[in-house]
Amino acid sequence: MFEVMVKGGFSAAHQLREYPGKCEALHGHNWTVEVTVRSGKLNELDMVMDFTELKESLGKVLGRLDHKLLNELKPFDKLSSTSENVAKYVFDEMRKTLSAYEIAWVRVWESDDSAATYYGR
C-alpha cells in the first residue's frame, strides 16, 4: 500500500457552542491540514497521484475556510466547529473533488500540539 500526503493551512475564527470553558468565546487559529491519499498500485508515472493536483485540490477546499468565521459557514452554522468536524468536512470535500482517489485520512492541527484526524467510513 502506498500513501502520499500534502499539507496546507488556513486562518479562521470559531467558537465552540456550549463548551464549558474559554473556547466558547470567539477565538482564532492558524490551522494546518494534512491530507493523505492511499493506493495499492502506482499509476503510469509510478505515482499514487501528482502532488501538484493534490495540493491544488486541498488549496481550493481550504480557500473556502480561510479568513472566515467558521460558525457562519455550512455545515458549521449547525454543527460544532471542532477540529474533529473540520477534519471530517475537509475529508468529505476532498473526496468530492478527488473521487478517482482514495482519501485515507485528514488531520487538522489547531495548534502545534493539538490535532484531530478523520479516517472516513
Q: Which residue out of 14, 29, 93, 110 is catalytically annotated?
A: 110
Active-site annotation holds for 14? no
Q: Which residue out of 23, 24, 27, 72 is catalytically annotated?
A: 23
Helix (H, G, I), strand (E, B) or coil at 37: strand
Active-site annotation holds for 67? yes
Active-site annotation holds for 23? yes
Neighbours of 115 (CB within 10 A): 17
For residues 87-114, one letter each, b for 16 or more C-beta atoms within 10 angstroms of the residue's C-beta and e for the rest, the string is bbbbbebbeeebeebbbbbbbbbbeeee
Q: Which residue out of 3, 24, 27, 67 is catalytically annotated?
A: 67
Give the active site residues.
23, 67, 110
